[in-house]
Chains A and B, each alone.
Chain A
C-alpha cells in the first residue's frame, strides 16, 4: 500500500484550487493535535475515547489520501473497540512515524 494515494490528492488539488495549501496546512495542524491527544489518551484506559480519536483520525487521513496512516488508525480503533489496551504505545509510535512520512511526501507533492 502506498503512503499517499496520488489520485485522491490530484482530485483534491483540482477541487480545492488555491485552498489546497490551506487544506494541507490544516491537515498538518489538525493531525499534530490529534496525535498529541492520542498519546495522552493511551496513558489512561478510556477505551471509548481512544476509539473515537482513532476513528476521526482515520477519517480525515483517508480524505487526504493518506491510506497507510488511515489503515494504522483503523487498526488502533479496532483494538480500542475490542478493549485491548496493552502496548498501544507501539501502535501510536507507528502512527507518528507514518504521519511524519506523510508530511514529508505531502511537502514534496505541492
Chain B
C-alpha cells in the first residue's frame, strides 16, 4: 500500500482528539508514532527519539509550535528534519510565521488522510535526498583531505629530492609558489666543481601529481650530475632521455637551463619551450630576448635531441630573467592576459634596477587583482657578479682556478709477465675520465692511447716488423708472430707517462710512451706522407691528426703527444 519505508513520526498537538486522529492516520500508513502534548514536550521527545518527520500544532500551551520548530531545527543541525505545521490558522501572516520558524509545510484541519500521506512521502524523499547529499559531501571532504595529505607527503619527498640547491646565493632572486611542484614548476640550482652555477627552470605540462612526477627524476638527475662536473649538454641529454622514457606522451617539460660562469662572465643557455628569457644590461637598461630554439625536454628521443646552446657575455650587474608562462598568462578579472607587452613595459618604467624583480611581481599581482591567483608565477633573476660575491663555493673554486692551475702526472710501467694478460688501456682511460672536462673526449683519448701503446708493444717490445703488414699474407703472418712472441716474452717494458695540466681556457694532456725496443730512425721519416707506414701507419697518422704531431726521441723508442682541449663553458 505504501512504498515509504517505516518512519518515526512525532505528533505534537495539545488537542487530544486531533492528536488521536493524526496518530491513527500515521500508524495506518505503517509508521511509528511518538507523541507530545505541548511544545516543550515536543522538544524533549525529539531529543530522545530523533524522529524522521515532525508534525507540529501551531498553537500549544507551554511553548507554541513556532518556538518548538526553531529549537528542533537547531537540534537537528545539518540533518534535514521536515516540520509540517498542523493548523487551522489561515491568515497569511500566521502561515508566514510558520515558515519563518523553520516549518516546511502546513496541514490544515480537518485532516485529510490522502494529503497527509502524500506529504509524508514527498518529505521523506526530500529527507533521503538530503541525507545522500550529506553523505556525499562528507565523502568529498574526506577525499579532499586525503588528497591534500597525499600532496603534502609528495611535497615532502619532492622537497628532499629537489631542495633549492644554491638558490640562496647572493646574486640570485626567485619567486616560486610553495606548492609550485603541483603546478608543474620546478627550479633547481647547483654549483659545478669549476665554480660556475648551473640552473634549470622547468614547467611541466598539466597540474597536480602527474605534473609533479616528472620533477623527481629531473631534480635527482640534475643534482646527481652537476656537482660531478658533467657538461650542460650531457645533463640535458640525460634528463631528456629519462623524461622521454618515464612520462606518457603529451606530458613534457618546457625548460631553460643555464651555466653561469662568474670568472669569465659568460652564460651558456638552452631554452626549450619557455617564453623568451630577458638579458638586461646594466649599462643602458636594454633587454635582449633569448628565444626558445628547441623542443621541450621529454619530447624527442635522445638521437633527435638538439643540445646546441647560446653563449652570452655579461658585464657585472647585467641580469638575466627567466620565467614560466605563468607571468605571461596571468589573467585579470576581465580574462585578459598579462602578456609580453606589459612585461616589457615594467622594464621600460624601471628606474632602480635592484627593484626590477619586485616590480615584475607587483605588476602581475596588481594586474590580476584580488585573490590568490599568483600561485602559478615562477620567476628567476640572476645577476652577474664577482665569484667571491656569489657564494663561498664560487669563491673557493675561483681561487683554485685563478691562482693555481691543476697539474698532476702519473707513471705506469707494464712488465714482461703482464703483456699477455693485461690491457692497461681501460684502466688508464678510467683515470682520465675522472677529469670532468675530459669526459667529452673519451673516444679520442682511447684512440691516442691505444695506438701509441700498440706501437710500443708490437714494434718495440715484440720487435715485429711493420713492413710485414703491407700484404694480406704478411698481415696474418704478423699476427701469428705476435701471438708466438707475446707468449715467450721474458724481458722489456712499456712505460706510460701522463701529465695533466689545466689553464684558464682548457687544458693539456701530455702522453709519453717509452718502450724497451730498438726504436727507429725517426729523423729520416717522411712527415708528409701518411702512407709511409702502410697498414701499420694508419694509426699513427690518426694520432698525428688528433694531437697535431707525434714527437719521437731517444733512439726512436720514445713517442710523445700533446692533446690540448678548450672548455666550452
Chain A interface residues (CB < 8 Å from chain B): 8, 11-12, 15-17, 19, 22-23, 26-27, 30, 52, 55-56, 58-60, 62-65
Contacts and interface: CB of A to CB of B under 8 A. Distances in A.
Q: Is the interface of A mostly helix, strand, loop or mixed?
A: helix
B407 to A, nearest CB: 112
Nearest to B91: A81
A12 B25 CA distance: 9
Interface stretch (B9-17, B164-172, B183-191, B233-241): B9-17
Given A15-B28, A16-B24, A19-B24, A59 B16 contact: no
Nearest to B28: A15
B110 interface: yes
Nearest to B14: A56
Contacts of B59: 52, 55-56
* Interface-centre pick from A30, A56, A64 (highest chain B CB count, 10 A): A56
B17 A23 contact: yes
A55 B88 contact: yes
Given A63-B18, A63-B111, A58 B28 contact: no
Contacts of B110: 8, 62-63, 65
A62 B15 CA distance: 12
Contacts, number: 52
B88 A30 contact: no
Contact of B20 (A26, A56, A58, A59): A26
A74 B89 CA distance: 11
A12 B21 contact: yes
Contacts of A63: 17-18, 21, 109-111
A60 B86 CA distance: 12
23 contacts: A12-B21, A15-B28, A16-B21, A16-B24, A19-B24, A23-B17, A23-B20, A23-B21, A27-B17, A30-B15, A30-B16, A55-B59, A55-B89, A56-B14, A59-B15, A59-B88, A60-B17, A62-B109, A63-B18, A63-B109, A63-B111, A64-B17, A65-B110
Interface in B9-49: 14-18, 20-21, 24-25, 28
Nearest to A8: B110
A15 B15 contact: no
B437 to A, nearest CB: 101
B24 A26 contact: no
B113 interface: yes
A15 B25 contact: yes
A23 to B, nearest CB: 5
Nearest to A33: B16
Interface in B504-553: none
Contact of A15 (B18, B24, B88, B109): B24
B21 A59 contact: no
Contacts of A15: 21, 24-25, 28, 113
B363 to A, nearest CB: 70
Contacts of B109: 59, 62-63
* Interface-centre pick from A26, A52, A58 (highest chain B CB count, 10 A): A26
Nearest 7 Cβ contacts at the A-B interface: A59-B88, A27-B17, A60-B15, A62-B110, A63-B110, A59-B109, A60-B17
A58 B110 CA distance: 10
A15 B109 CA distance: 16
B21 to A, nearest CB: 6
